[in-house]
Amino acid sequence: MSRVYNFSAGPASLPEEVLREAQEEMLEYKDTGMSVMEMSHRSKAYDAIIKEAEQDLRDLMNIPDNYKVVFLQGGDSLLFAGVPMNLMKNGKACYIITGQWAKKAYQEAQKYGEAIAVASSADKTFSYIPDCSDLDIPDDADYVYICENNTIYGTKFKTLPNTKGKELVADLSSCFLSEPVDVTKYGVIHGGVQKNIGPSGVQILIVREDLIADGPAKPYTPTMMDWKVQADNDSLYNTPPCYGIYICGKVFKWIKKMGGLEAMKAYNEKKASVLYNFLDNSKFFKGTVTPEDRSLMNVPFVTGSEELDKKFIAEATKAGFVNLKGHRTVGGMRASIYNAVPIEGVEKLVEFMKKFEEENA
């Protein structure tokens, strides 16, 4: 068996140790006589799996008791509607547009109330994070929304915006569990797991209890998108994505074994520095993001020639470095170096890039 170095933006690399554990338990989980994929979500065995997964996540993120943790399905894009449906009680919310996903969330929110773009980096192709220290936020705004790490464009909020006392809602899909987070600074954290935590099909919602105490803001909110219903039923209102949550639980334990989020951040910084240091010193390859706003998870870069970009992607793929093609809206290349991507893979990628530069400069 020969595994490639997978730099996909999502679904993405999972820890090999987790995959091997899942392989061993595929036919029979513990002494149940069946696979997790076959067991009832109402069984004692699965109840233990989902509760343990939630507790491990709470431990990793130091999630306070007054926050609910919910495992949902439908893809994180479903929450672009779920956020305003559940939170837009005054019918007004602020959005900071730093990329494709924040823009889509903003556009979706316009269906349910007044969505106001209070800052944007679209003027420079989302290559930086705008100054959010003194935003014009209306007094009656329900929340301020950000996509904290921008998968496509490779930017990251290093300082959270000044929300003027309004609730901060953050999509953490592509930086979930990559570093410590102070959950108390957010009203809501949400994200799909397929980038840094598990297989596609699961999304995680972390929401402060008082925000959902009275139910959704919009009376027409579908029951399945009603966060209070989902929280009150401990993520088991209907059949959840059982196997995906099981894998997430294993990844939570793997991160704990690695030393937790502080250790994860240090490892991710070390990995990213290998690639960014090369890009900063290369006369051939060039990073596309303002240095102070660079993501640790997603690193876009270009040669300056579409023809050479295509050649690099083709040769890299043959060499075992896959899914390096940039998003269709950006072009160029992008290396997503999530938690499970080993530093050896980044080092070997840089070696390949040096060789390609020597041969094509």
Residue 114 CB neighbours (<10 A):
16
Catalytic (active site) residue 171: yes
Element (H, E) at 16: helix 16-24
Catalytic (active site) residue 227: no
- What distance separates the 2 farthest-apart alpha carbons in the chain? 64
Cα-based distances in Å from 65 to 155, 212, 226:
31, 15, 20
Measure the CA–CA gap between 140 and 158, rounded to whole angstroms: 27
Chain centroid, CA 281 distance in Å? 29
Strand pairing category for 188-192 and 155-156 = unpaired
Beta partners for residue 114, in sequence order: 92
User: What ranges make up the beta strands (E) of 257-315?
Assistant: 286-287, 298-302
End-to-end, the C-alpha distance of the chain in Å comes to 35
Q: Omega of the bond prior to 11 within 30 degrees of 0, cis?
A: yes
Evaluate whether 237 touches 70 at the Cβ level (below 8 Å). Answer: no
Locus of tokens 């036919």? 27
AA letter at 288 = T
Per annotation, catalytic residue among 142, 171, 293, 309:
171
Beta partners for residue 144, in sequence order: 94, 168
Per annotation, catalytic residue among 101, 156, 166, 218:
101
Count, residues in the chain: 361
Element (H, E) at 147: strand 143-147
Measure the CA–CA gap between 230 and 237, rounded to whole angstroms: 6
Per annotation, catalytic residue among 68, 92, 166, 195:
195
Catalytic (active site) residue 47: no
Evaluate whether 192 touches 203 at the Cβ level (below 8 Å). Answer: yes
Which residues are catalytic, by number?
Answer: 101, 171, 195
